[in-house]
Amino acid sequence: MRRVVVTGVGMITPVANSAEESWKAFIQGKSGTGPITQIDGTPFQSKVSAEVKNFDPTHYIKPKDIKKTDRFVQFAIVSSSMALQDSKIDVKNEDPYRIGVLVGSGIGGLRVIEEQHKIMLEKGPGRISPFLIPMLIVNMAPGQISIHLGLKGPNNCVATACATGSNAIGDAFKIVQRGEADVMLAGGTESCITMLGFGGFDAMKALSTHNEHPQTASRPFDKTRNGFVMGEGCGILVLEELEHAKKRGAKIYCEMAGYGMTSDASHITAPDPSGEGAARCMAQALKDANLKPGDVDYINAHGTSTPLNDKVETLAIKKVLGEDQARKIKISSTKSMTGHLLGAAGGVEGIVCVLALRHGIIPPTINYKHPDPDCDLDYVPNEAVRMKVNVALSNSLGFGGHNACVAFKAFRD
C-alpha cells in the first residue's frame, strides 16, 4: 500500500476563519458559541448556536458566483483553496487528473430550499431560481471545488450525517492508497442554521437549553450537559501520496495511517447503548494502521454534549483500549468550543488531530466543571496540555448508526 501524508489544511469555524487562527483559539480554550443571530430564536427551547462570524468569500469566489452558491458550498470552496495554498501545490505544474476531491455535507443547501419555497408560495413557481437545484444538492460542494480549482481527478460526495467528514477523509485516504490519485482534498462542510434546520433539532430535544450561559452551553462529558449546540463550518485536508510529496519538497504535517467504519444497526438517532459499534470502528482504524491500543496518545472524541452520546463513547473507548490504557490517554472534545458542526465536524476534528501531532499540544474540553461517574476518563478539562503525540484518533458517530474513525501518526521517513 502507498503511504499517505497530510500536506495542507484549511478550515472555517465558529472561532475563526482560518486553520491557523482556529487552532490558536482552540488551544486557548476560546468558545465560539453564543446567542443565535441568524434566525429568530424566540419560538425555540434552545436559543444558542455556534455561528461562523464575519465570513467573506470574495477573496476566493467571484461575486457573480457567490450568488449562485449556498453558504455550505462557499465554506467548502474557501477552505479547500486555503488548504491547497497551505500545501503549496501549484495545480498548473501538476497533472489535474491525479488530484481529486471528496467532500461531504450532512444536510446540504437547506437555507436556499427554505428561501425558494417561500418565494414559490408568495410569488408562484415561475419565480423559482433556475439555480435552486445546483445550489442545494450536497454533491455541489466537491463539484464546485473541482470547478474553481481545476481538479479533474476522482470526485465524490459523502452524506453520513455527523460521520460525514470522517468518512470523506477515510474514503479519500483509500483512493490515494490504492493509486487512483496522488492528491485528494477531503473533509466536510455544513451551514444549516435555519428555521427548519434548527427547529428540527429543537423538536427532537437534542439541543442544549443552557440559554442563560450561551458560551458554556456546549459542555461535553460534564454531568450537567443536556444537548449539543448547533454549529456551522468546514474542514478540508490535503492528503498526498508520500513520494509525490517528497518529490516536490512538501511540508508534511503527519501521516494518515488508518480508517474504520461500522454501523450500529440499532436506532435512527441514538447510539447503541453498549458502544459496540463505535468500539469496532476504532478497532478497525487501529488494525488498518497496524497500530495497537497501547500506541494511542490522543482521541479527539465525537463528544457532542448529549447525555447518551458522551456516556456511550466513553464506554466504547474503554472497550477498545482496555480500562488501563483508556485512563492513560488524553481525550478532548473541541465541540465544547465549536458546537456540533454536523457533516463538517469530522473535517475540522481531523485537522485538530493533525495539528496536535505537529505542535505537541492537545486542545482542552472547555466548560467541564462537574464530573460524571459515567464519563470518568481524562478529557483534558479546560486547559490545553503540552505533550508529545505520536498517534491520534478522531471519532465521528452519526445519526443512522454510522460510525467513522480516522487514525493519524507522526511522520517518520
How crowded is residue 243: how many other Cβ atoms within 10 Å of its Cβ?
11
Is residue 244 flagged as an active site residue? no
Is residue 162 flagged as an active site residue? yes
Could you give the CA distance from residue 262 to residue 277 in angstroms, rounded to a whole number?
6
Is residue 234 flagged as an active site residue? no
Q: Give the single-character DSSP code of 394.
A: E
Give all strands of the β-sheet with 48-50 in edge-to-edge order: 34-35, 48-50, 230-231
313 exposed, middle or buried (CB, 10 Å; 0-12, 13-18, 19+)? buried
Length of the chain: 413
* Residue 315 in grid coordinates: 464506554
Could you give the CA distance from residue 123 to residue 396 in angstroms, rounded to a whole number?
42
Selected catalytic residue, list 210, 302, 402, 405: 302
Cα angle: 230, vertex 234, 238; to 5 degrees:
150
Selected catalytic residue, list 157, 162, 234, 254: 162
User: Positive or negative, the Cα torsion across 347, 349, 351, 354?
Assistant: negative
- Contact present, 343 and 106 (Cβ < 8 Å): yes
Selected catalytic residue, list 148, 210, 244, 340: 340
Could you give the CA distance from residue 393 to residue 349 in angstroms, rounded to a whole number?
10
Could you give the CA distance from residue 375 to residue 252 in angstroms, rounded to a whole number?
35
For 381, the 3-state DSSP assignment is: strand
Query: Active-site positions?
Result: 162, 302, 340
